[in-house]
């Protein structure tokens, strides 16, 4: 995995001006010592997005997003961590070297360079005499020469050493040649991996070529596609083909069309449907979803209409819905894929008959399974298969709605659907819509106890030494009533160096991160940290004692009703009240 040294990351965090970074993309107005503007991450009319220059962080009170300059660039530009670090480093004049535990920055530069060399060789070949048949094949399929050049499509000639000879001539080191994925090895021989294939360059989100997909077009080729293997640059499960061309269009349209093949994407893009992406050399998986979530919350699945395509559609669809992304299924005409449909019937037909009539996932599952023509035994199995998928959905609203859709689509009573789930040990509690883990819920600070504990969090984050030391020495864990806040307080007390711009990264849970941001960015009501710390701890102690008194009084009344001796309860209450008086004074 590519990495940047921590001291470089720290240098960027310390050097970057959060107001300068954000104000290049968001109009900000100063209020007091902080800045406010309309949040760029959700629609709002009243500014709830704030930037605190003294803490180097931003936070939106509306949607909860927050972090430092790097986090903002990642979220706004929809790029990964390394790319955001490099972008900020470039702006600040900081030399960002990307490396991993084994390889140097020169190694990664070599990998990028050898892929660029290969792309140029393949492009030149396609438009030379060697590539005439390949070029004719592409043109006959409806691709224009302008499109071929835009997507840098090329041709690998039927030679075992064209690229290798060029790589040696240009002095590429041995480790780059061995790890780039462009060559094969047999005993002492090294040969070009791709031969007699149309070449589709695969780029990262910044547009740098990191791999290739090679398509056979002759009649005797046994493998239709040959893709680059995984390399230090190329992780198949994390890369989409075409995203470097289509990202802005996806953001603009607020949804994406997911296709299976390179030519599917290129045909749609050429026709003017440009919010499209394709998987790259592997099946759609959860890592793809995590990448997609940064761009859109709705995906139209436009896979082939054969049995393999239907299976892939269902798998991808349920992967999306489990992650909270809405899937829609485009129904392909019999025997066609998106490439054929666009080429034969054009953009408008694809949009009106395909996108506009796309189906929800569960009705598509029922339709494709031929549910209406199945026996009762087959119907039961289909229902159970779908319920197994639904049971893995963690969002209770999506889960319950999916059950309703299943019931309505199959004309089976919803109670019967729940009954099927309840009787199957592998699907318990389907009807309960899965209780969320409390750590995944937004925490409402309402009670006096919660406010006092949240006050302690604010004080610890303020990093005033005397107040923090007082809290460490005086705070009794038993006085912390909210388990969520308690864990945060104890974790913060264990962290020696709390930096406002990096503290968020110490917490994995997103809602806890938002709570930390809220504590950091909130109005600085604390003017005397030590005194407020004393007040908060005193408040928590009083609440604990009062709760104990209430509990003893309940037990006292129970003892009285049963005719038991109550002296011990009265003594306990007197002792607690004495402690309460001392806590107050």
| Secondary structure (3-state) at 230 | coil
Residue 434: the pLDDT is 41
Residue 156: the pLDDT is 95
Residue 350: the pLDDT is 95
Residue 109: the pLDDT is 82
Phi, psi dihedral angles at 550 (to 5 degrees): -60, -40
Number of H helices, E strands in the chain: 24, 19
Residue 193: the pLDDT is 94
> Per residue in 509-528, pLDDT tens?
878 888 888 888 765 555 68
Residue 390 CA to residue 21 CA, distance in Å, equals: 42
Q: How many CA atoms, within 13 angstroms, populate the side-chain half-sphere of residue 235?
A: 10
Q: How far is CA 122 from CA 127, 152, 170, 425, in A?
A: 9, 9, 17, 56
| Secondary structure (3-state) at 474 | helix
- Say what the pTM is: 0.62
Mean pLDDT to the nearest integer, 264-285: 91
Which pLDDT band holds residue 438 (cuts at 50, 70, 90)? Answer: very low
Q: Using CA atoms of 19, 25, 30, 34 in order, give the dihedral in degrees to the nearest 10.
A: -40
**Top mean-pLDDT range of 4-13, 16-25, 177-186, 430-439:** 177-186
Least confident piece of the model among 308-317, 401-410, 512-521: 512-521
Mean pLDDT to the nearest integer, 482-494: 88
Q: 197 and 226 in contact (C-beta within 8 Å)?
A: yes
Question: Which has the closest alpha carbon to 7: 80, 75, 84, 85?
Answer: 85
Mean pLDDT to the nearest integer, 105-130: 92
Q: In 204-321, where do the E strands start and end?
A: 209-215, 225-227, 240-241, 256-259, 276-279, 298-301
Q: 21 and 72 in contact (C-beta within 8 Å)?
A: yes
Residue 4: the pLDDT is 80
Mean pLDDT to the nearest integer, 202-207: 80
Mean pLDDT to the nearest integer, 397-425: 85
Residue 539 CA to residue 532 CA, distance in Å, equals: 10
> Per residue in 530-584, pLDDT tens?
888 898 999 898 888 888 888 888 888 888 888 888 888 888 888 888 877 776 6
Cβ-based neighbours of 305, under 8 Å, separated by 6 or more:
331, 332, 333, 334, 335, 336, 337
Percent pLDDT > 70 in the chain is 91
Q: Which residue has the tokens 């959700």?
A: 42
Cβ-based neighbours of 6, under 8 Å, separated by 6 or more:
none
Mean pLDDT to the nearest integer, 348-369: 95
> Per residue in 164-193, pLDDT tens?
999 999 999 999 999 999 999 988 899 999
> Per residue in 32-75, pLDDT tens?
888 999 999 988 888 999 998 878 899 998 888 999 999 999 98
Mean pLDDT to the nearest integer, 233-253: 86
Residue 155: the pLDDT is 97
Residue 51 CA to residue 517 CA, distance in Å, equals: 11
| Secondary structure (3-state) at 398 | helix
Radius of gyration of the chain (CA): 30
Question: Which has the closest alpha carbon to 225: 215, 217, 233?
Answer: 215
DSSP state of 184: E
Q: Which residue has the tokens 């004495």?
A: 578
Q: What is the mean pLDDT of the chain?
A: 86
Which pLDDT band holds residue 437 (cuts at 50, 70, 90)? Answer: very low
Residue 422: the pLDDT is 67
């Amino acid at each position: 995995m590519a990495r940047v040294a921590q001291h470089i990351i720290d240098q960027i965090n310390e050097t970057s001006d959060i107001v300068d970074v954000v104000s290049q993309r968001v109009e900000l107005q100063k209020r007091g010592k902080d800045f406010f503007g309309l949040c760029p991450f959700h629609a709002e009319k009243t500014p709830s997005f704030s930037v605190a220059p003294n803490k180097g962080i931003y936070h939106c009170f509306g949607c909860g997003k927050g972090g430092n300059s790097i986090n903002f660039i990642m979220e706004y530009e929809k790029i990964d961590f390394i790319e955001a670090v490099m972008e900020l480093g470039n702006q600040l004049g900081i030399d960002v070297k990307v490396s991993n535990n084994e390889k140097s920055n020169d190694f990664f530069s070599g990998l990028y360079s050898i892929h660029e060399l290969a792309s140029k060789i393949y492009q030149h070949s396609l438009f030379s005499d060697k590539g005439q048949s390949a070029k004719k094949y592409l043109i006959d399929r409806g691709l224009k020469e302008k499109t071929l050049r835009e997507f840098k499509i090329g041709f690998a000639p039927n030679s075992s050493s064209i690229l290798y000879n060029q790589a040696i001539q240009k002095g590429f080191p041995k480790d780059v040649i061995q790890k780039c994925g462009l060559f094969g090895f047999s005993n002492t021989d090294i040969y070009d991996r791709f031969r007699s294939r149309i070449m589709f360059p695969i780029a990262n989100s910044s547009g740098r070529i990191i791999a290739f997909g090679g398509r056979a077009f002759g009649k005797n080729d046994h493998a239709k596609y040959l893709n680059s293997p995984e390399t230090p640059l190329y992780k198949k499960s994390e890369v989409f083909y075409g995203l470097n061309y289509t990202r802005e269009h996806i953001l603009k349209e607020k949804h994406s069309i997911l296709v299976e093949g390179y030519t599917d994407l290129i045909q749609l893009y050429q026709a003017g449907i440009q919010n499209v992406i394709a998987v790259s050399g592997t099946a759609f998986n959860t890592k793809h979803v995590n990448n997609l979530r940064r761009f859109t919350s709705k995906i139209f699945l436009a896979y082939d209409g054969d049995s393999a395509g239907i299976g892939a559609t269902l798998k991808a669809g349920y992967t999306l819905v489990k992650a909270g992304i809405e899937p829609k299924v485009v129904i392909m005409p019999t025997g066609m894929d998106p490439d054929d449909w666009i080429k034969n019937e054009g953009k408008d037909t694809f949009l009106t008959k395909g996108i506009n009539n796309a189906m929800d996932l569960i009705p598509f599952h029922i339709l494709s399974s031929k549910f209406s023509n199945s026996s009762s035994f087959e119907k039961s199995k289909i229902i159970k298969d779908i319920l197994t998928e639904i049971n893995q959905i963690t969002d209770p609203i999506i889960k319950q709605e999916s059950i309703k859709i299943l019931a309505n689509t199959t004309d089976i009573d919803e109670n019967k659907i729940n009954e099927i789930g309840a009787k199957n040990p592998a699907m318990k509690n389907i009807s309960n819509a899965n209780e969320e883990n409390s750590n995944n819920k937004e925490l409402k600070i309402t009670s006096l106890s919660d406010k006092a504990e949240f006050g302690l969090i604010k004080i610890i984050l303020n990093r005033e030494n005397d107040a923090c030391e007082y809290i460490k020495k005086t705070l009794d864990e038993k006085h912390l009533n909210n388990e969520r806040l308690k864990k945060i307080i104890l974790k913060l007390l264990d962290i020696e160096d709390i930096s406002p711009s990096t503290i968020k990264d110490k917490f994995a849970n997103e809602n806890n991160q938002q709570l930390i941001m809220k504590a950091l960015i909130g109005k600085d009501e604390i003017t005397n940290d030590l005194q407020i710390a004393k007040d908060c701890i005193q408040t928590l102690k009083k609440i604990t004692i009062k709760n104990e008194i209430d509990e003893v009084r309940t037990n006292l009344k129970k003892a009285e009703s049963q005719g038991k001796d109550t002296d011990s309860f009265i003594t306990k209450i007197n002792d607690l009240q004495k402690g309460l008086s001392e806590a107050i004074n």
